[in-house]
Amino acid sequence: MVTIRHARSGDAHPLSQLLEANTKENLTAEECDEGYITGGGPPEDALAAMAEFPGFAVATDGDEMIGCIGASTFDQHEGQSIVETMADACSEANFRGDSLSAYRTFLYGPAVVARGYRGNGVLSDMFEFLVEIVSEEYDVGLAWIANENQASYAAHTDGLGMTQVTEFEFDDDLYTVVAFLVSERES
């Protein structure tokens, strides 16, 4: 039975394993067509910190970690070039007619659902749980998705209703930044 819950710092190791197993570099081309995360995910100490604040929604099936969605602040990624490049692109972007800088924003992701559990509502359930975690602190969630990662883009725009706000280039790859308004997702 799948359970959605708030991550604990002790979840850092299984989270790290789940994220590493779903990075582009560790998947076949066929598996990448189902979606992947860019990079290996944060190190275990960063995952433990993110589990504490702002939070991480995880999905488990018994003792097995089968999914996660993280929330983090820009400050938690200080010195990470891809996040700094994304932040620069967002500084010029608008969302719902206002500058993104008018909102209290957080970084959504990484988001992963293990193969075999995809398409069964696990991502949506974790998303709803994550919204409850961040709803008092943040107005808008922002995520970046590699343009070639069409499965992830569709899951987040078509499936979760996120909106494209800008694009950026990093290490010769193109990324789209998508956003969602937290208050529209609260139950």
Q: Please list, in sequence order, all residues whose beta carbon lies within 8 angstroms of the beta carbon of residue 137, skipping any fewer than 6 positions away.
A: 54, 104, 106
Number of domains composing the chain: 1
Q: Please list, in sequence order, all residues whose beta carbon lies within 8 angstroms of the beta carbon of residue 20, skipping any fewer than 6 positions away.
A: 26, 40, 41
The alpha carbon of residue 65 and the mean position of all alpha carbons in its chain are separated, in whole angstroms, by 16
* CA dihedral (47, 184, 101, 174) positive or negative: positive
- Stretch 121-130: mean pLDDT: 96
For the cut 80, the answer to whether the pLDDT of residue 40 exceeds it is no
* CA dihedral (2, 116, 155, 69) positive or negative: positive
- The full length of the chain comes to 187
* CATH code at position 53: 3.40.630.30
For the cut 80, the answer to whether the pLDDT of residue 186 exceeds it is no
Cα distance between the two ends of the chain: 23
Would you state the structure tokens that stand for residue 29, as one six-digit string? 């081309």
Residue burial 22-57, b: 16+ Cβ < 10 Å; e: rest: bbbeebeeeebebbbbbeebbeeebbbebbeebbbb
pTM of the complete model: 0.93
Per-residue pLDDT of 41-97, as tens digits, reads 778 888 888 888 888 899 999 999 999 999 999 888 888 899 999 999 999 999 999
The residue range of the domain holding 177 is 2-184
